[in-house]
Amino acid sequence: MSKLELLKEIAREVSLCRNCTLWKTRKNPVPGDGNPSATLMFIGEAPGYWEDVKGKPFVGMAGKTLDFLLSILGVSRDEVFIGNVLKCRPPRNRDPSPEEIRLCTPFLDRQIKVIEPRFIVTLGRHSTSYIFSKMGLEFSSISAVRGKLFEGQVLGLQVCVFPTYHPAAALYSGRNREVLEKDFRTLKAALERYGLLNF
């Protein structure tokens, strides 16, 4: 099977998943979207209201912020892959529970293995904490690790992991938006060093 076919199969399984109770309150699952062979993969926390409505990641206000941040890199959505730790929206956009993360992340793991990204950008504390656990790294807080590059193995793949704030943070604070823009300029420089901006 091609990478696209494998990702479609994962998406089909997500649509049928009943492992936790979130399927009862969601409108649509949000398996993820983008290039099956992406060099650059973004991982957020969980779908929000508009993601749940449309079945696609980062299509609300935070998505507009992410689109702007991608423009700093000079890349478009169809060149990268965007996913989340959870594939269904938690009610009232509450934080994912540890049990929901445990039950849902096997889908994310499989997506990472299929896509084989060189860079993983973790957006916020939940995705950063999860990916750090796969690398054998301790996670204290997103503010302590954001804007830094961590090289190591994730699921047997050699990757560079770049944590930053979730784009939604920019909606509540101009300072957070400045930090995100700075981090994405740092990320662009790192991608250029690795010769990875011409996808």
Asked if residues 14 and 107 have their Cβ atoms less than 8 Å apart, the reply is yes
Query: Parallel, antiparallel, or unpaired: how do β-strands 33-34 and 81-84 relate?
Result: antiparallel
Asked if residues 51 and 59 have their Cβ atoms less than 8 Å apart, the reply is yes
pTM of the model: 0.96
Which structural domains are found in the chain, ordered by start? 3-193 (3.40.470.10)
Per-residue pLDDT tens over the stretch 135-175: 999 999 999 999 999 999 999 999 999 999 999 999 988 99
| The pLDDT of residue 139 | 97
Does residue 199 have a pLDDT over 90? no
Per-residue pLDDT tens over the stretch 82-117: 999 999 999 999 999 999 999 999 999 999 999 999
Per-residue pLDDT tens over the stretch 61-83: 999 999 999 999 999 999 999 99
Per-residue pLDDT tens over the stretch 122-142: 999 999 999 999 999 999 999
